[in-house]
Amino acid sequence: MPEQNNKAVIDMTGIIKRYYIGMPNELQILNGISLKINEGEFVAIVGESGSGKSTMMNIIGALDRPTEGKYLFNGEDISSLSDKKLSLIRNKEIGFVFQNFNLIPRTSAQKNIELPMMYAGKGRKERAKKAMELLGIVGMEERADHNPNELSGGQKQRVAIARAMANDPSLILADEPTGALDTKTGRVVMDIFHKLHKSGKTIVLITHSPELAKETQRIITISDGSVVSDTGGAVNENF
Amino acid sequence: MSIWEYIISAKRCLSASKMRTLLTTLGIIVGISSVILINTIGNSLGQTIENVIYSMYSGNEAYVSIVPDKKTNPDVEYDELGGFYIPENIRFTSDMIDAYDKQFSEQAKRVVYDDQVFGSGKITISDQFYSTVTASAASYTLKDYFNIKMLDGRFISKQDTDRYTQVTVISDITAESCFGDKNPIGEQITIPNGNGVFLECTVIGVYKYSEQGSALMENDKREICTNVYVPYTYLFRELDYTSQDMYESYSIKNVTDTEKYKAETESFFNSYFEGTGWKVSVELMTDQLDMISKIINGITFIIVAVAAISLLVGGIGVMNIMLVSVTERTMEIGVRKAMGASNKSVRIQFIVESVMISFLGSFLGIIIGLIQSKLLAMIAVRIASAKNFNLVVDLAVPYSAILLSVLFSFVIGIGFGVYPADKAAKMEVVDALRYE
């Protein structure tokens, strides 16, 4: 068991998510998940397709709100915040890495990385400096002016990781980050995550691949909307 | 995020698909340019007509005439031309007019029967020497009023009109046609005046004929119809012309408040006609000019309104493209929201884009509209000069129309951008990210 910092970044209690509420086809995707992830952890959330892990990711990433339950992010209850406040959390506290990279088209790598900083209201010079610094970390300095369509898949994902770190978030949330990449470039991307983890970042990796999950410190397996196994020790005591 | 950053970002986005942006603005370009063009034509036409009228008269003018007072005198019979018979006892008397001249000498100068032309005909000296003329009733004030330039001799004086002298002032063209190189001063001529009336007059002066319009097309100088001026008192006596007493004409000077002048003049004369069932009406030339410009403005307004409809169509085109753009960029909207864009900033982003499209359209529309106006003016002048007509087109840049167009396009940009922008802003981030 690696050394744990006791400060919880994510602290979920009894998270339930239902769709089509009040309609005949009402659907419950998450059945009361409780989960605690501490600062500095590198966690993999694994599950079959349809297990509810994407819904889980949406809630963790403040993209969606739980129907029931309590979600403390850095100690702050965000389970029923307004859209505006959620967008602030996403902007400052969470860095997203998507399977399909999701870089803004026709916009240079540097400008893509600057985007979260722009929404955070940072000045032009500060943004450019930070973007170049982040490009350095992912080894993409010389591609700063390239548009996404001029980059390979691996390069795009490296830019996306740099973008995720733009506002120094408390959490990096990666959804199948190597899913669209070949093994070799996938390796490069994973190495970057390890590097970031070593530098103290909290990373949640959502994947269906057991191989990738094994590289992390802790594997949380979700099936049919419930946590079926958790190799780590940070399970909420209240559960 | 500052508005400047939204603008830069919108500029990047619009220039990424230049052709589409340009086609989107097309409706607005056509709308704005036609509004500018029609406005310019209307303004220039009004200005040109005004200038033509002003160039015919040296200043403003007031016509003072006797008309029936409809309230107390409803039984007056009108002929088919709107004319009516005024009883013998209802007339301007010389006492009235002298009193008026005295009291209003600062504001108005009596012109007396200017431009009252009578029948035209030919002055014939011999088979070779003749001239086409129109007899014109003149007073001494006419010279300054029409800015008549004397080449030889003198113009009609006050004494001439007071004494009914049989004299005349002819044009240089008539002088040459009738007398060749001979000095015409002191020569006797017979001036035909229609209805078999002939006036026997002695030539006392020659004025310079100012060439105008169709006269230039006449090759034979003898056929050019010019005025011969005859003292009005003499002319009217010979013609047995009585309406002189019903109609006076004044050249107005030093009058800033024409409405006040009009009211004062009317009340001055009306005091003489009280209780007769007749009153005095003052008609100002500016009133007529106002009426002409009102008609032109009215027509211009209607056509501009029609052109503005194409602006509306252009606006709908902008909305259409913005809606397509929002759908196309659903994923981008999702990503932006995931990166921390609030609904508000997504909304602003799309509104800024549609306002920029509209501004671009109005900018190009203004330029094209001005170029069109300029070309049209050039063509009009060329056609006119080919027909020997000296047309001066005052191409006024319609600043008000430009300002209005820019404002209107701003409103269109916002008005038609709100719905697509709202659609983008209200997208659920989870759905947007999942959109394919």
Residue B265 CB neighbours (<10 A): 24
Q: Average pLDDT for residues A55-81, to the nearest whole number?
A: 92
CA distances to B219, B376, B377, B379, B386 from B383, rounded to whole Å, are 21, 11, 10, 6, 5
* Percent of chain B with pLDDT strictly greater than 90: 19
pLDDT score recorded for residue A233: 54
Nearest to A116 among B12, B334, B340 (CB): B340
Q: Average pLDDT for residues A159-188, to the nearest whole number?
A: 93
CA distances to B19, B130, B303, B375, B414 from B31, rounded to whole Å, are 19, 59, 12, 18, 17
Between CA A117 and CA A110 the distance in angstroms is 11
Least CA distance to A90: which residue of chain B? B340
- Asked whether the beta carbons of A189 and A152 are under 8 A apart, the reply is no
Minimum mean pLDDT range among A41-50, A167-176, B25-34, B400-409: B400-409
CA dihedral A161, B3, A122, B327 (to 10 degrees): -20
**Helices of type H across A45-123:** 53-60, 83-93, 109-119
How does DSSP classify residue B84? B
B316 CA to chain A: closest CA distance, Å? 27
Between CA A236 and CA A150 the distance in angstroms is 46
- Asked whether the beta carbons of B178 and B131 are under 8 A apart, the reply is yes
Between CA B409 and CA B311 the distance in angstroms is 8
Chain A segment 89-118 residues within 8 A of B by beta carbon are 90-92, 96, 98, 102-107, 115-116, 118
pLDDT score recorded for residue B214: 45
A115 CA to chain B: closest CA distance, Å? 7
pLDDT at B93 over 80: no
Q: Average pLDDT for residues B170-196, to the nearest whole number?
A: 85
Residue A162 banded pLDDT, cuts 50, 70, 90: very high
Instruction: Compute φ and ψ for B108, nearest 5 degrees.
Output: -130, 140
Please indicate if any CB of chain A lies within 8 Å of the CB of B328. Answer: no
Q: What is the mean pLDDT of chain B?
A: 82
Residue B208 CB neighbours (<10 A): 13
Residue B391 banded pLDDT, cuts 50, 70, 90: low
- Asked whether the beta carbons of B173 and B208 are under 8 A apart, the reply is no
Please indicate if any CB of chain A lies within 8 Å of the CB of B331. Answer: yes
Cβ distance B342 to A116 less than 8 Å, yes or no, reads: no
Q: Average pLDDT for residues B385-398, to the nearest whole number?
A: 70
pLDDT score recorded for residue B336: 94
Least CA distance to B426: which residue of chain A? A83
| Cβ neighbours of B331 in A, within 8 Å | 102
pLDDT at B153 over 50: yes
Over residues B353-373, the pLDDT tens digits come to 999 999 999 999 999 999 998
Residue A234 banded pLDDT, cuts 50, 70, 90: very low
Higher pLDDT, B207 or B121: B207
B347 CA to chain A: closest CA distance, Å? 13
Q: Which of B18, B339, B352 to mutate to test the interface with A (most CBs of A within 10 A)?
A: B339
CA distances to A84, A167, B205, B362 from B32, rounded to whole Å, are 39, 45, 58, 6
B324 CA to chain A: closest CA distance, Å? 16
Amino acid at A212: L
| Cβ neighbours of B13 in A, within 8 Å | 106
pLDDT score recorded for residue A1: 42
B315 CA to chain A: closest CA distance, Å? 26
Contacts of A39 (CB under 8 A, 6+ apart): A5, A7, A8, A9, A170, A202
- Asked whether the beta carbons of B13 and B353 are under 8 A apart, the reply is yes
pLDDT at A95 over 70: yes
DSSP string, B296-357: HHHHHHHHHHHHHHHHHHHHHHHHHHHHHHHHHTHHHHHHHHHTT--HHHHHHHHHHHHHHH
Cβ distance B336 to A115 less than 8 Å, yes or no, reads: yes
Between CA B312 and CA B320 the distance in angstroms is 12
Q: What is the strand order of the sheet A76-77 is part of? A: A27-38, A8-19, A68-73, A76-77
A167 CA to chain B: closest CA distance, Å? 10
Positive or negative torsion for Cα A119, A123, A124, A129:
negative
Please indicate if any CB of chain B lies within 8 Å of the CB of A126. Answer: no
- DSSP count for chain A of H helices, then E strands: 7, 10
Amino acid at A199: S
How does DSSP classify residue B182? S
Residue A234 CB neighbours (<10 A): 19
Containing A44, the helix (H) or strand (E) segment is: strand A42-46
* Percent of chain A with pLDDT strictly greater than 70: 95
Please identify which residue in the block is written with the tokens 């008005």.
Answer: B415
Contacts of A60 (CB under 8 A, 6+ apart): A10, A12, A171, A173, A204
| Cβ neighbours of B334 in A, within 8 Å | 102
Over residues B235-262, the pLDDT tens digits come to 877 776 654 455 677 777 777 778 888 8
Cβ distance B430 to A92 less than 8 Å, yes or no, reads: no
Over residues B192-212, the pLDDT tens digits come to 876 677 888 999 999 988 765
How does DSSP classify residue A103? P
The CA-CA-CA angle for residues A111, A113, A119, to 5°, reads 85
Over residues B257-308, the pLDDT tens digits come to 788 888 888 888 888 888 888 888 888 877 777 888 888 888 888 888 888 8
Q: Which of A172-181, B59-68, B102-111 has the highest mean pLDDT?
A: A172-181
R_g of chain A computed on alpha carbons: 18
Higher pLDDT, B184 or B95: B184
